[in-house]
Chains A and B, each alone.
Chain A
Amino acid sequence: MITPTSVVLDGQPITVTQTGDKMLVELYRRFVGDYPKFFKMDTLCRLGFVAAEMLLKDHTTNDERSSDWTIIMANRSASIKNDTDYLATISEGHYYPSPALFVYTLPNIVTGEIAIRHHIQGETSFYVLDKPEQLEPIIRSTLHPQPSTLLAGWCECRTTNDFYAKLQLIWNN
């Protein structure tokens, strides 16, 4: 679980020195460190990416199982933070639409970034819901036919200092 000021992994708090987006960079350097593409990501993707990385760091996927995994994420605000950033590049009198920002104006990109990093050719889905609890029936209905492993959770971001993520890794035996 990640908020702009705190991080909890498997029930244990993780000490961080930064807050907001800077905290996500700190987490990246501590738990990842070898993936420069991280710096191209918007805050929503950075949030989901480091949260997933922290959960998956002990579980490597291999090719035979990667298409059997499922990633389902949801939030309330879609990609609003990055939408706003993109809008700034097409303002009146200063029209220079940024392709790098435009690609992140879809909330499901965060699931794609995680899939690329871990070579997961399974299902990636993104939902916009009112509350995290609404995700539970969707997850339950996705467990048949069973993916072998499900990474699921809430990944919400409104600004670089207003975000919340709670992800779970579910082994489906």
Chain B
Amino acid sequence: MEQLIEQLKSQIIEALNFEDMTPADIDTDAPLFGEGLGLDSIDALELIMLMDREYGIKLADPKQGKTIFQSVRTMAEYIQAHRSK
């Protein structure tokens, strides 16, 4: 799980263009939206695409994103449970 979390942090940084950030800068349990990384609606859609592209997970209902993307940890847990790649 820890390996997945680290990998996910790197993927998030790349997918969302966080130029000046390293995985160490991202708190695993901090909120991704609102405070924390302060992601917006386009970022949420990119994360949905990231899950499909990297882990083969297709999210039928984008509203599920609210719970899945609460933090890096909740996202990693969802991926662990549903990945097909």
Contact = CB atoms under 8 A, between A and B. Distances in A.
A contacts B directly (C-beta below 8 A): yes
Contacts of B52: 96
Given A98-B46, A99-B42, A99-B45, A40 B53 contact: no
B64 interface: no
A97 B20 CA distance: 25
A156 B63 CA distance: 38
A171 interface: no
A98 B49 contact: yes
Contact of B20 (A36, A96, A100, A103): A36
A100 B53 CA distance: 14
B53 A103 contact: no
Contacts of B17: 39-40, 100
A97 B42 CA distance: 13
Contact of A96 (B19, B42, B43, B49): B49
Nearest to A98: B49
B46 A99 contact: yes
Interface in B6-23: 15-20
Contacts of A98: 46, 49
A99 B18 contact: no
A40 B45 CA distance: 14
Contacts of B46: 98-100
B3 to A, nearest CB: 23
A135 to B, nearest CB: 30
A86 to B, nearest CB: 12
Contacts of A40: 16-17, 42
A99 B17 CA distance: 13
A100 B18 contact: no
A36 B42 contact: no
Given A36-B19, A39-B18, 11 more contacts: A36-B20, A39-B17, A40-B17, A40-B42, A96-B49, A98-B49, A99-B45, A99-B49, A100-B16, A100-B17, A100-B43
